[in-house]
Amino acid sequence: MNCSKEHIEYLKKVKKKKIAIFSTQILLLAIFFVAWEIAASFKIIDPFITSQPSRIVKTMANLYNQGVLFYHIGITCVETIVGFISGTIIGIIISIILWGFDFLGKVFEPYLVVLNSLPKIALGPIIIVWIGAGPASIIVMALTISLIVTIMEVLNGFINVDEDKIKLAKTFGATKIQILTKVVLPASFPVMLNALKINVGLSWVGVIVGEFLVSKAGLGYLIVYGGQVFQLDLVMMSVLILAAAAAIMYQGVVFIQKKLGYDLHNN
């Protein structure tokens, strides 16, 4: 393909801007850590309460040598993943039932609004007493938080599917199940993926709070334990790892969303 001179200039300009933005991003990150390290070393800030990058690295190395670093990270990640995936799936199933039986949907509407308004974290102690301390109750906490939001988003998506597409299917004599599988579900796929994206974030909240309350393992546990015994190195390390893990998981869902969105809608 022949590009005119102006087009090559244009592409160069765009690329330059991209590189400038990316370099500034890396620079900011580097400056942040370097400044933190220097400020702590020169006692401008008190490393006892702020910690510093070098000590964080040391703590990470310690935990790694003890063989527990990936154990803690792993437990938290698994709890979160199981929580948000099951919350999304169960939420979709309940949404299908509430869509299918209009009467039920209308009956449960105000109850859903109340449950949605209630901060599910408040149910934490109840879940712990009923299920017992441990990963199971933490997963249930994440599930509960994801569940209600999923139902509201997905059910709303189902109801908002183009009425005329449904009428079209009916002109061929489609049954309710055929309308569900051929029209409503495919049309709502973007909404369901979006609910998944929201649930990732919410699940993390549920899991970390759960670990605060009752765990003996995981990043949330390390944060709360580190805080209690004033080992801020542990706390800062866990928070940084948590930030990285949450970002990666979120980007993973965005990636899936883009990939599937492309396949389904060919945009």
Q: Shortest gap between Cβ of 183 and other proteins (angstroms)? A: 7
Contacts of 153 (CB under 8 A, 6+ apart): 191, 194, 195, 198
| Residue 4 CA: distances (Å) to CA of 7, 8, 12, 16, 186 | 5, 7, 13, 19, 43
Q: Which of 168, 244, 254, 256 binds other proteins (CB under 8 A)?
A: 168
Q: Shortest gap between Cβ of 181 and other proteins (angstroms)? A: 10
Tell me how far apart the alpha carbons of residues 84 and 201 are, in angstroms, rounded to a whole number: 9
Q: Which of 45, 115, 133, 165 binds other proteins (CB under 8 A)?
A: 165
Nearer CB in complex with other proteins: 2/171? 171
Dmax (CA) for the chain in angstroms is 78
Q: Is 201 left (phi over 0), alpha (psi -120 to 50) or beta?
A: alpha
Would you count residue 197 as binding other proteins (CB under 8 A)?
Answer: no
Nearer CB in complex with other proteins: 6/163? 163
Q: Shortest gap between Cβ of 174 and other proteins (angstroms)? A: 5
Contacts 24+ apart (CB under 8 A), 114-117: 115/148, 116/148, 116/149, 116/152
Would you count residue 183 as binding other proteins (CB under 8 A)?
Answer: yes
Q: Is 181 helix (H, G, I), strand (E, B) or coil?
A: helix
Residue 149: name the closest of 231, 92, 79, 66 by CA: 92
Would you count residue 43 as binding other proteins (CB under 8 A)?
Answer: no
Q: Which of 37, 60, 85, 170 binds other proteins (CB under 8 A)?
A: 170
Q: Which of 49, 172, 228, 229 binds other proteins (CB under 8 A)?
A: 172
Return the H-helix or E-strand segment holding 186: helix 185-214
Nearer CB in complex with other proteins: 60/165? 165
Q: Which of 186, 251, 254, 256 binds other proteins (CB under 8 A)?
A: 186
Q: Which of 167, 176, 216, 259 binds other proteins (CB under 8 A)?
A: 167
Would you count residue 177 as binding other proteins (CB under 8 A)?
Answer: no
- Among residue numbers 104 through 163, which ones bind other proteins (CB under 8 A)? 162
Tell me how far apart the alpha carbons of residues 253 and 248 are, in angstroms, rounded to a whole number: 9
Binding piece for other proteins, criterion CB under 8 A, among 83-91, 105-113, 170-178, 230-238: 170-178
